[in-house]
Amino acid sequence: MIRAILFDLDETLHDRRSTVEQALQEQHARLHEYLGHIPLETYLQRFLELDNVGRTPKPQVYGQMVEELAIPLSPTLLSEDYYRHTWRQPVLFPLVRDLLAHYRQQGHGLAIVTNGSTRSQQAKLANSGLDRLVDVILISEQEGVAKPTPTIFLRAARQLGARPEECLFVGDNPEADIWGARQVGMKTVWRKGHIPWPDHLPRVADHTICEPGELFGVDFSRW
């Protein structure tokens, strides 16, 4: 029986790509004096390529862009501008707040377990209001351990007062989220998004969705 539901944050609850694209459009306009010679589409596309779904440090991303696109600003200044503005208005996938309220009303313990910097992830959670909709939040930098390491999954389950086999994990990353959660005995739902399922990894997800709202139609009462 599922007693607790754990979620990844970026590209599972938080539409990170839409948030970043919106912020980059605003940055391009805000710093138009220095960026106006670059077509907006080129600016967006090159950032997203270099960013690699958030895996590349922003000073490195902007360092490459400054060199390639002849930007007369320092990577440090551009990075600080990015961090200052990007997570002010995070875009959530449709029905996310309703979904969390639904599960809470049903009595499920709720957690968000996310890899990333404490600064960025806390800003997303606070500014979206997600931090007020779940019981437990674990951020890899703060915890000193990241998914798919078993420790962070087990720590979340323990804080929710549930055994791993009583937990359901929902995430978009096949290795960090789905494989990691399965290794400790959790049930899993894969949010199929920008990260394809790698050939070397067995397809171990118990269920697959494209949008979080699809979970309303999933009956896991007997899982």
Give 121-167 pLDDT, tens digit per residue: 999 999 999 999 999 999 999 999 999 999 999 999 999 999 999 99
- Tokens 């000193």 locate to 144
Q: What is the mean pLDDT of the chain?
A: 97
Q: What is the DSSP string of the chain?
A: ---EEEE-SBTTTB-HHHHHHHHHHHHHHHTHHHHTTS-HHHHHHHHHHHHTTTTS-HHHHHHHHHHHHT-SS-HHHHHHHHHHHGGGSPPBPTTHHHHHHHHHHTT-EEEEEE-S-HHHHHHHHHHHTGGGT-SEEEEHHHHT--TTSHHHHHHHHHHHT--GGGEEEEES-IIIIIIHHHHTT-EEEEE-SSSPPPTTS----SEEESSGGGGGG---TT-
Give 94-117 pLDDT, tens digit per residue: 999 999 999 999 999 999 999 999
Banded model confidence at residue 35, pLDDT cuts 50, 70, 90: very high
Q: What residues pair up with 4 in beta bridges, in sequence order?
A: 109, 167
Give 154-168 pLDDT, tens digit per residue: 999 999 999 999 999
User: What's the pTM?
Assistant: 0.93
